[in-house]
Amino acid sequence: MVSHGCVNMATGAASSFRNLLFGDDQLCYKARTMMPCKPRGDNAPRTKETELRAGALKLPSVLMQGITHIAPAVGIVLTIQLITSLAGVTTPLAYAIAFGIVLTLGVALTQLAKHLASAGGYYTYVSRTVHPKAGFLTAWLYFLYDPTSAAINLAFMGFFFEGTMKAEFGVTFPWWGFFLLGTALITVLVYFGIEISARTMVLLGVAEIAIVLALAFTGLRHPGKGGINFSSYNPARAPSVNGLYLGVIFSIFAFTGFESVAPLAEESESPRRNLPRGIIGSLLLMGAFYLFCSWALLIGWGTSNLDSFIKSAENPTFRLGKNLWGSGWILLFIAVINSILAVSIASTNAATRVFFAMVRSGSLPRGLAKVHPRYKTPANAIWFQTFLTL
């Protein structure tokens, strides 16, 4: 009798623990593995009419979701002056240390993405591994990140476009006009199918990376004062320990965005295989990109003349582009605009999928879970995100 009761108690405890850990809407526990099972989390069963388009994204699209959310052109062109003011000639070393730190986070995320593949991303991970209430809090804190990212990025793009056009060409174009155009473009791209927005991100991402790499290689061909050297990777050349430390801190921010791969789980082909590849792949590629480009651009300017780089009233990357390319520097301006558009698309894709997952668990109104019957996108969640952006 006692033995039978103990068995029942143990079975009940194990069942409760599994429900707490894995939740009840996406995954179940089978023979020591986490395998997909029929959803049970809400009263309305999920059908083809209420699901996103499974398998729509192949590895290159998943990879580019992470890369464009990192925004490589912005990460170099608009931040290298700040990091150099802190870390000096060892700016590439600061990027390298930051890369190592972020890579450890990426490895941990790959395990969560592999075993808990869901559009909820961190919302799902925290709910399943900590507690549903902690997941709920995480979801609302998430509103300060991707859901506001598009608005912040597009507003910045408007100001950046207006200021540059006025300073360089004497043309005045109101920032809010560019903001509205950008918002409309992103809404259209995201609404009419994940494949369209993914292809756009691939094109934009490849373009911005190619432009910045071209300037970096040009800088190596025409080095400034100091010539080609590797002092950038010698910690003894750092202006101070504190300077290098702060350079690392700000370099970490240049890598944020790789985690946006996770919410595309339900639309990815072989998500348990491709999501980890997309997360680690985007970090490896961006780590190599930052290390090489930051080093090559400082070489192009002149490592013995970095005071002028730090104190330049004009963006030093633009200045270097003018020195090396003449009027071709405009490509760098295009790369930055391109990068901001791409990160806005990526953040909108991620945010709307998290909204979609939050509805299924009852954290948001059910109407936001409506999926377009033809395009298989979370239509109402996209309109809600557009409202937040405006």
My answer on whether 3 and 93 are in the same domain is no
pLDDT band at 14 (very low <50, low <70, confident <90, very high): very low
Q: Which of the residue ranges 315-319, 352-356, 363-367 would you say has the lowest mean pLDDT?
A: 363-367
Q: Is 204:338 a contact under the CB 8 Å cutoff?
A: yes
**What is the model's pLDDT at position 125?**
84
Structure-model confidence comparison of residues 281 and 115, the more confident one: 281
pLDDT band at 16 (very low <50, low <70, confident <90, very high): very low
Q: Is 294:95 a contact under the CB 8 Å cutoff?
A: yes
My answer on whether 203 and 293 are in the same domain is yes
**What is the model's pLDDT at position 79?**
93
C-alpha to C-alpha distance for 250 and 281, rounded to whole angstroms: 22
List the domain range (segments joined by +) for residue 15: 1-45
My answer on whether 253 and 369 are in the same domain is yes
My answer on whether 325 and 181 are in the same domain is yes
Q: What is the largest CA-CA distance in the chain?
A: 89
**What is the model's pLDDT at position 47?**
43
My answer on whether 34 and 74 are in the same domain is no
The SS3 of residue 268 is strand
My answer on whether 39 and 77 are in the same domain is no
Per-residue pLDDT, averaged over 342-363, amounts to 86
**What is the model's pLDDT at position 277?**
92
C-alpha to C-alpha distance for 286 and 96, rounded to whole angstroms: 11
The SS3 of residue 186 is helix
C-alpha to C-alpha distance for 201 and 228, rounded to whole angstroms: 34
Q: How many domains does the chain have?
A: 2
My answer on whether 28 and 143 are in the same domain is no
C-alpha to C-alpha distance for 334 and 340, rounded to whole angstroms: 10
**Which residues, listed in sequence order, are joined to residue 268 by a DSSP beta bridge?**
57
pLDDT band at 94 (very low <50, low <70, confident <90, very high): very high
Percent of the chain past pLDDT 70, that is, above it, reads: 87
- Whether the predicted model's global pTM rises above the 0.85 cut: no
My answer on whether 168 and 113 are in the same domain is yes
DSSP, res 45: P
My answer on whether 30 and 155 are in the same domain is no
My answer on whether 212 and 129 are in the same domain is yes
Q: Is 247:36 a contact under the CB 8 Å cutoff?
A: no
Give pLDDT tens digits for 199-234: 999 999 999 999 999 999 999 999 999 889 998 999
Q: What is the CATH number of the domain that holds 286?
A: 1.20.1740.10
Residue ranges in the chain assigned as alpha helix (H): 2-22, 59-70, 72-77, 80-87, 91-115, 122-129, 132-142, 146-169, 175-191, 194-221, 241-253, 271-301, 306-311, 316-325, 330-360, 379-389
Tokens of 215: 């300037």
Tokens of 203: 């094109």
Q: Is 219:92 a contact under the CB 8 Å cutoff?
A: no
Per-residue pLDDT, averaged over 91-115, amounts to 91
Q: Is the dihedral of CA 145, 150, 154, 160 positive or negative?
A: positive
Tokens of 6: 């103990």
Q: How many other CB atoms are there within 10 angstroms of residue 268's CB atom?
A: 27
Per-residue pLDDT, averaged over 277-296, amounts to 95
My answer on whether 179 and 302 are in the same domain is yes
Q: Is 232 exposed, middle or buried (0-12, 13-18, 19+ CB in 10 A)?
A: buried
